[in-house]
Amino acid sequence: MKHLWLTLIMFMLGHASPLTADTQTDSQPQTPTNSQAIGGDFTLTDQHGKPFRLDSVRGKLVLLFFGYTHCPDVCPDTLGKMARVMRELDQDASQVQVLFITVDPERDTVAQLNNYVPFFSPSALGLTGTPAQIRAVVDQYQADFKLNKTESQDGKTNDFYTVDHTASVYLLDRTGKVDSMIPYGLPAEHILQAVRQLLAASEAPDQPRTASKPDADTPAVALRTADSYAEAEQPDRLALALHDLQGQPYSLQTQAKPVMINFWATWCPPCRAELPALNRAYQQLAGDGLAMLAINVGDSSQAVSRFLQDYPIDFPVVLDEAGNSMKHWPIKGLPTTIILDHQGKLLYRVSGEKAWDSKAMLDEIRTILKIRTQTAG
């Protein structure tokens, strides 16, 4: 049966009509216009025909993905990456559950899912339901999909059609809350790092979490100077290729003052939540000799431009559509913020949403800059 599925997948890759750009909606994401929380519990039917409740895997991390079994490229690629993640986790794989939710319940029957999903990973679960149930869960996670059905000359609907769908992988914590959303196209190593980070964070609750809420009274992390970071954490920032919103190359040239860099994406709820506070912090820190830069990871220039029309910021925004910056520093989750000194050395790094314009955070940043200035002097 595995060989049959491999043959079918290769056939579809070679003969299916190409998917539209909307299929990978993370490249052009739909930015929610309200603050409603993403995710939540649901009940669907698993690949064995039994009811499945999300709360039945409480205590585990969840890698959740919306797709369909006739998908020619994105879905098998993503499921293959998640299968690799599960293999690399080894014994820790028992703490992670992969969920594949079909957006094409008409064709993706229980039997179809049971033949397809285990091909990639024996422990993964395929989930289906009525069209109304599927749409409810998709909306709950602020995702989207569109069935591209066409009619033949005799007026009948063609059996083969593609589906445009959100291609992010949702990483849920042990309580079932969405911790982060990983865009399509990033390597399996990135998913693995995000999972390992969250596994470690859930074992040590005082560790910063990727989607943590801001704490206005408590500094993000203990103060560290550049010399306290290992040499491996000091990559050459000039080697990183970035582009501005007009598609022109952007280089992180060595400059006479430190720079604060925020890694974010429009599909990342805590990223969107903290950017206004970060902009207010920039306005207050501009006189302290600190430059600021936002590196968007995984979005298209059109998506970022649309976002900035609604949420303008005063400092430069550059693009990293391939996600190379995540590996360059390295960055394990979004949002992440770092501070580099004027020579490009890493002074500070923290993950998760922060109240950047709070007195505690502003004081901490100024302390970092003051200590580094004294050290350099």
Residue 184 pLDDT: 84
> Who's near 344: CB < 8 A, 6+ residues apart?
234, 236, 237, 238, 252, 254
**C-alpha to C-alpha distance for 33 and 270, rounded to whole angstroms:** 14
pLDDT at 230 over 90: no
Is-cis flag, bond preceding 29, omega within 30? no
The whole-angstrom separation of Cα 353 and Cα 277 is: 10
Residue 255's pLDDT is 58
User: Which carries the bigger pLDDT value, residue 299 or residue 120?
Assistant: 120
| Tokens coding 156 | 């009948």
SS3 of residue 117 by DSSP = helix
pLDDT interval class at 155 (50, 70, 90): low
Measure the CA–CA gap between 291 and 287, rounded to whole angstroms: 10
| CA–CA gap between residue 304 and residue 335 (Å, rounded) | 15
Q: Is it the case that residue 3 has pLDDT exceeding 80?
A: no
The DSSP line for 290-307 is -EEEEEEES--HHHHHHH
The pLDDT value given to residue 368: 83
Determine the Cα–Cα distance for residues 164 and 334; give it in Å rounded to an integer. Answer: 25
Q: What is the mean pLDDT of the chain?
A: 78
Per-residue pLDDT band at 150 (split at 50, 70, 90): confident
Specify the pairing of strand 169-172 against strand 61-67. Answer: antiparallel
Residue 52: Cβ within 10 Å count: 20
* Number of C-beta neighbours around residue 46 at 10 A: 18
Each residue's pLDDT tens digit, 335-357: 889 998 887 788 888 888 888 99
Under 8 Å between Cβ of 212 and 280: no
Of the candidate ranges 118-122, 199-203, 232-236, 368-372, the one whose mean pLDDT is the lowest: 232-236
Q: Say which range, 107-111, 208-212, 260-264, 300-304, has the weakest mean pLDDT.
A: 208-212
Sign of CA dihedral 265, 65, 170, 143: positive
Which of 3-12, 32-41, 247-256, 264-273 holds the top average pLDDT?
264-273
Bridge partners, 51 (sequence order)? 45
Domains for the chain: give ranges and CATH numbers. Answer: 13-203 (3.40.30.10), 226-376 (3.40.30.10)
